[in-house]
Amino acid sequence: DTGVSQNPRHKITKRGQNVTFRCDPISEHNRLYWYRQTLGQGPEFLTYFQNEAQLEKSRLLSDRFSAERPKGSFSTLEIQRTEQGDSAMYLCASSSQEFTEAFFGQGTRLTVV
């Protein structure tokens, strides 16, 4: 296992289109987090899963955003009707009960034109 994997690494989309990102966490990690990072800022929490259950969502997660983790393994983050303000790096992280820290993927950079 090489760590948290995110795909695609880069995505350019036209305003109004839908996009979906995938995150594969470290295999034994039951906790999975999505963060958004804009230029010059620290990551901002979006949502959190424990196994397949989505336990927490930030107010940043508008109704155009939806996240799933259907079998408690990989997760997807979908953004519908993208807006230019959605342009950011989307980071996924995972952790287990044994670790207090989270392990991050390389992120998906979204550009909405």
Partner 1 sequence: AQTVTQSQPEMSVQEAETVTLSCTYDTSESDYYLFWYKQPPSRQMILVIRQEAYKQQNATENRFSVNFQKAAKSFSLKISDSQLGDAAMYFCAYRGTSGNTPLVFGKGTRLSVIA
Q: Which residues bind partner 1 (CB under 8 A)?
A: 3-4, 31, 33, 35, 40-45, 48, 50, 55-56, 91, 93, 97, 100-107
Please give the structure tokens belonging to residue 70. 């259907």
Least gap, CB of 59 to partner 1 (angstroms): 11
Query: What is the rounded distance in angstroms from the CA atom of residue 85 to the CA atom of residue 65?
Result: 13
Least gap, CB of 18 to partner 1 (angstroms): 25
Ramachandran assignment for 16, one of left (phi > 0), alpha (psi -120 to 50 degrees), beta (any other) = left
Closest CB to partner 1 among 40 and 85?
A: 40
Least gap, CB of 16 to partner 1 (angstroms): 28
Please give the structure tokens belonging to residue 43. 């990551």
What H or E segment, with its residue span, contains residue 56? strand 53-57
Least gap, CB of 101 to partner 1 (angstroms): 5
CA geometry: angle 79, 82, 87, nearest 5 deg: 95
